[in-house]
Chains A and B, each alone.
Chain A
Amino acid sequence: MKKIINSPQDVVPEMVDGLVRSYPEYLERIPDTEAVVRSDKASMKGKVGIVSGGGSGHEPAHAGFVGKGMLSAAVCGQVFTSPTPDQIYKAIQAVDQGKGVFLVIKNYSGDVMNFEMAKDMADVDGIKVKSIIVDDDIAVENSLYTQGKRGVAGTVIMHKLVGAAADQGASLDELEELAKNALPHISTLAVALSAATVPEVGKPGFELADDEIEYGVGIHSEPGYRREKIKTSKKLVGELITKLDEQQHLDPEKQYAVLVNGMGATPLMEQYIFSHDVLDKLAEKKIKPAFMKVGNYMTSIDMAGISLTIFELTDKKWLEYLNYSVETVGW
């Protein structure tokens, strides 16, 4: 393992410290936690607070999306490990303005349990809390017999939507409705070239041969649905769009937002090439995205790979929310 760290157990506190001290105009640390809150407190006044978080290793998610117009606070767990309820609860307390707090949770058993315990704690104190569990990864079948679909890069889209709506004064109930309505229209699929190495583990989460790729890998090295020899960018895009199309039934009459997301070790150069192929492939289907983002938004430490998120804009307001101006490190 070759990483620029001091010691594996100090990764999270030192990362959070480095982040907030580098960007004091956006971020502040909540005392005695690994959670960060907006430094612009005035921007939260009278509004519903938005809190997200999860294991670390997905930077800039989630702390990088804290700022005016997006998240109010984010809680950073250990690497690939959900944050604990006491920390999530402190973040809820830090952002509550009497209008309630909305939680954006990724669908992993640990995240769901810890955020729910924090919600119970807030209930006891009379803070109104509602939440959405994001499960945009279509690599996993939804089934009663598994944890269900995972939450991946589409979570950032959710942050953007509820963040913009909350900034414009949406109520807790309105945010819940917005999140529930948008969620089924957000689909993501990834391809991995190599696995991530968790600092405390010291070796990659799985092995892929030099010439192999795997479709459908999750953001914590969860296994995907198929391994193959490496293909051209065009062919990778072809596979991902075919699968996403089965889910979304892409239609030239409809509007779409597209997020091309690097997994950590894939250079922007390759992400732009991939985007070129995504846009070509969509053009074949007579689709021109109404909104597009390319870059590292929901990474998986040093995993090489890329994910493609397609979001069908069935409500005109959603495009406005995506274009709404924010003051964050990561968007």
Chain B
Amino acid sequence: MLTVELTKKWMELFYDEIDKNKAYLSELDTPIGDGDHGNNMKRGVTGVKEGLAKLKEPDLKATLQAIAMALISKVGGASGPLYGTAFLEMAKKCNETQKPEELFTVALEGIKKRGGAKEGDKTMVDVWAPIVKTFSDGSFSKEEIKKAVESTKDMEARKGRASYLGERSIGHLDPGAMSSGYLFETFIDAGGTK
């Protein structure tokens, strides 16, 4: 069950992970993007931290909403609206259900709708879609997350800036898939599966 405490812990760990890997994310973004994914995500998680600190005894909806607004208003580029939409959809749904798999499902639908990407396009969807599925067969784990992130390496990009490279995008991990991998890994570390 997603709770306010879990969400806060999750965002703290996500901040640390992004902070630690900022240079690596930008490095992944250099050959197939414009080399700024780490900086943009760092601005976003910093905004999340500040946004959450301002809330006084929030409920889950207000917490998820604050995360969404911080990501939308701080990240910029394509990742801002995509991550922001994911959390906004979760905020809309969370009064009805607090099950992570159901919340991640609506988040994934939001991402697909906003960005127009499908599975196999070499985007964050290639992490979100298989991970959402692992909840139903109980295989949600760091191994599965890693596998999903790695799967983007052999794909040819069809969305976003990497798509201009065509075949030359093959052989590189997708930076958005990597940062999504961090998001799910830190969800586990925060105790999200217990």
Asked whether A and B interact, the reply is yes
Give Cα A114–Cα B115 distance, bound, in whole angstroms. 11
Among B5-13, B31-39, B54-62, B94-102, the stretch in contact with A: B31-39
Residues of A within 8 A of B114 (CB): 113
- CB pair A84–B73 under 8 Å, yes or no, is yes
Which of B36, B73, B76 is A201 in contact with, Cβ under 8 Å? Answer: B36
Which of A84, A86, A108 is B161 in contact with, Cβ under 8 Å? Answer: A108
Query: Within the complex, what minimum Cβ distance (angstroms) separates A246 from chain B?
Result: 20
CB within 8 Å for A109 and B161 given contacts A81-B36, A198-B36? yes
Q: Which residue of A lies closest to B27 (CB)?
A: A201
CB within 8 Å for A146 and B158 given contacts A198-B35, A198-B36, A223-B168? yes
- CB pair B36–A200 under 8 Å, yes or no, is yes
Summed over the interface, the residue pairs from A and B with CB atoms below 8 Å come to a total of 98
Query: Within the complex, what minimum Cβ distance (angstroms) separates A115 from chain B?
Result: 10
Residues of B within 8 A of A113 (CB): 78, 81-82, 114-115
- CB pair B158–A201 under 8 Å, yes or no, is no
B163 beta carbon closer than 8 Å to chain A: yes
- CB pair A201–B72 under 8 Å, yes or no, is no
The count of residues in chain B whose C-beta lies closer than 8 Å to any C-beta of chain A is 32
Which of A80, A109, A200, A223 is B165 in contact with, Cβ under 8 Å? Answer: A223
- CB pair B76–A84 under 8 Å, yes or no, is yes
- CB pair B81–A85 under 8 Å, yes or no, is yes
- CB pair B161–A222 under 8 Å, yes or no, is yes
Query: Within the complex, what minimum Cβ distance (angstroms) separates B118 from chain A?
Result: 11
Q: Which residue of B lies closest to A77 (CB)?
A: B76
Q: Mark A179-191, 1 if CB is under 8 A from B, else 0.
A: 0000000000000
CB within 8 Å for A146 and B72 given contacts A84-B80, A113-B82, A220-B34? no
Give Cα A4–Cα B160 distance, bound, in whole angstroms. 31
Query: Within the complex, what minimum Cβ distance (angstroms) separates A62 from chain B?
Result: 15
A154 beta carbon closer than 8 Å to chain B: no
Among B40, B78, B160: residue with most chain A CB under 10 A: B78
A82 beta carbon closer than 8 Å to chain B: yes
- CB pair B81–A205 under 8 Å, yes or no, is no
Give 7 new A-B contacts, CB below 8 A, not counting A55-B77, A84-B74, A114-B76.
Answer: A78-B36, A109-B78, A146-B166, A147-B160, A147-B163, A147-B164, A198-B35
A-B pairs, top 5 by smallest CB distance, nearest first, are A146-B163, A110-B78, A113-B81, A110-B77, A81-B76
Chain B interface (Cβ within 8 Å of chain A)? 26, 30, 34-36, 39-40, 43, 69, 72-82, 84, 114-115, 158-161, 163-166, 168
Chain A interface (Cβ within 8 Å of chain B)? 55, 77-87, 108-110, 113-114, 117, 140, 145-147, 150, 198, 200-201, 205, 218, 220-223
| CB<8 Å pairs between A and B, sample of 29 | A55-B76, A80-B36, A81-B36, A81-B76, A82-B76, A84-B72, A85-B73, A87-B73, A109-B160, A113-B82, A113-B114, A114-B76, A114-B81, A117-B72, A146-B159, A147-B159, A147-B160, A198-B34, A198-B35, A198-B36, A201-B30, A201-B35, A201-B39, A205-B30, A205-B34, A220-B34, A222-B34, A222-B164, A223-B168
